[in-house]
Chain A
Amino acid sequence: MTSTFERLGAILAKDYRIESETLQLDARLESLGIDSLGAVELLWSVEEAFGIQLPHEPVPLATVGDVVDYIDAQVAAQAIAGSGQVLA
């Protein structure tokens, strides 16, 4: 199964021409040319790719690893919420 990191790398490769082969979890978003405004767009693309809805509140995301953790947490939270709905 493709990891969150790999899927995020694919978005970065497509939208920001960042080579996913050399991408590191501790790479800072700003060093990749993604400032706070760029992060807004990145999270929008993440929502599309992962089929999740992220909270509107801004979250501090400094590194690629932060984004991966954030996605995983949101996917898990929404999976629980979703299964809850199914059970109900």
Chain B
Amino acid sequence: MRRVAVTGIGVVSPLGNSAAEVARNALAGRSGIRRLERPFASRLAAPLAATADFDGTDQFDPARLRMLDRFTLLALAAARQAMADARHDPAAGDGRRAGVFVGSGMGGSQSMDEGYRTLYGEGSDRIKPFTVLMGMHNAAAAWIGIENGLRGPNLTYSTACSSSAVAIGEAWLRVAGGSLDLALAGGAEAPLSCGSIKAWEALHTLAAIDAAAPPASCKPFSRNRSGMVLGEGAAMLVLEPLDAALARGAPVHGEVIGYGLSNDASHITQPSVEGQADAMRAALASAGLAPAAIDAINAHGTGTQANDAAETASIKAVFGARAHRIPISATKAMHGHLLGAAGALEGVLALLAMQQRVAWPTLHLLEPDPACDLDYVPNTARLGVPARTMLSNSFAFGGSNAVLVLRAAD
């Protein structure tokens, strides 16, 4: 297996539209969660969301913009950033040995939502002509391949909230295994249409609004947590063999060194402690590491009662007594739940945390929960954390769990 470097990072997210901006805001413990200002907000029980401040008009011409669902727009912008960051010359290398791996839970759901509104809401039969091309789940990966001349595998993964961790892991396997020399891997999600938010609301998974402070509505691991807040965004990584990256003088932000999968096979929404622990153990095994090698964890940490208690238990199951001494960050309190893009954004945050020797804060953790008794780095970032190896956990409705093992650059 070859060592695999992360040479490019691209982010469009509620915490900022570059890695530097995301790191700055995470360090300051800012929340990108806001009261949602949309015409349909009054129809929501809790009008909250974490939005990305990006409309693409300065980067894309109008004819192209009309062809892109928002999830594809965010993905393309993140991919452009990542490729520029990696200083990768699109003309260099064999395009057939370069692949695209994108995770998305809901794909072009906004375009489908808009089409349905036209059909059923307005009673019109005139659906926009590009609705299929915008709604299809592989649109983001397809456009990234087209823009960058990447002619190898062009794959889209949809495993709900673990989608982009899967995408990065599958890309890592191929670059490490030698079948690809370059991969653009990550995820994108744009679930902030009325239809999508109402569907999540109906499932009783969304946080109640904190009336006094809407940005504080998502409270992972806190006893008074009431659910997650939906967010939109994209994060993309450029992966390439470490030796090739060093040879061409590319920036190395860190390495992907392991990836583990498991399936709960038990319940469509209830998380399984055993399933989560299995994914962490599989990730450690793929990296050839013992649990003692993990210095910090970016938790799945959604802020639901069920996830945070199960994740606490699964971390204890894997790490034993040492679980209490591992800094665990639940960054979703800051950037919301990006669903299929969550694993990629949180992977980026893990790499940035190791680069900057910090543990990101878990915001709004003011009421300790006896069922959540680990070190979640409450409320303020911790400085001088010498973490070299981190897990990034992504667990999903449906039970498909994915865990990445990331390492700081040498």
B-contacting residues of A (Cβ < 8 Å)? 15-17, 33, 38, 40-41, 44, 47-48
Contact = CB atoms under 8 A, between A and B. Distances in A.
A44 B63 CA distance: 14
Interface string B44-75: 00000000000000000111001000000000
A40 B63 contact: no
19 contacts: A15-B62, A15-B63, A15-B66, A16-B62, A16-B63, A17-B61, A17-B62, A17-B63, A33-B63, A38-B63, A40-B129, A41-B66, A41-B129, A41-B130, A44-B126, A44-B128, A44-B129, A47-B126, A48-B126
Contacts of B130: 41
A69 B108 CA distance: 36
**Top 4 closest A-B pairs, CB basis?**
A44-B129, A40-B129, A41-B129, A16-B63
Nearest to A44: B129
Contacts of A47: 126
B69 to A, nearest CB: 15
Contacts of B61: 17
Given A15-B62, A16-B63, A38-B63, 10 more contacts: A15-B63, A16-B62, A17-B61, A17-B62, A17-B63, A33-B63, A40-B129, A41-B129, A44-B126, A48-B126
B64 to A, nearest CB: 10
B176 to A, nearest CB: 37
Q: Is the interface of A mostly helix, strand, loop or mixed?
A: helix
Interface of B: 61-63, 66, 126, 128-130
Contacts of B66: 15, 41
A47 B125 CA distance: 12
A72 to B, nearest CB: 22
B200 to A, nearest CB: 32
A9 to B, nearest CB: 16
Contacts of A40: 129
A34 to B, nearest CB: 8
B118 to A, nearest CB: 12
Nearest to B130: A41
A20 to B, nearest CB: 15
A40 to B, nearest CB: 5
Contacts of A16: 62-63
A44 B62 CA distance: 16
Nearest to B128: A44
Interface centre among B61, B63, B130 (most CB of A within 10 A): B63
Contacts of A38: 63
A40 B93 CA distance: 36
Nearest to A45: B129
A41 B129 CA distance: 6
A48 B62 CA distance: 18
Contacts of A15: 62-63, 66
Nearest to A48: B126
Contacts of A41: 66, 129-130
Contacts of B62: 15-17
A33 to B, nearest CB: 7
A17 B62 CA distance: 8
Contacts of B129: 40-41, 44
A23 to B, nearest CB: 16
Nearest to A39: B129
Nearest to B127: A44
Nearest to B63: A16
Nearest to A38: B63
B391 to A, nearest CB: 44
A33 B64 CA distance: 11
A35 B61 CA distance: 16
B134 to A, nearest CB: 12
Interface centre among B66, B126, B129 (most CB of A within 10 A): B129
B112 to A, nearest CB: 18
Nearest to A41: B129
A41 B126 CA distance: 12
B68 to A, nearest CB: 13
A33 B62 CA distance: 12
A53 to B, nearest CB: 9
B59 to A, nearest CB: 15
A41 to B, nearest CB: 5
A54 B62 CA distance: 24
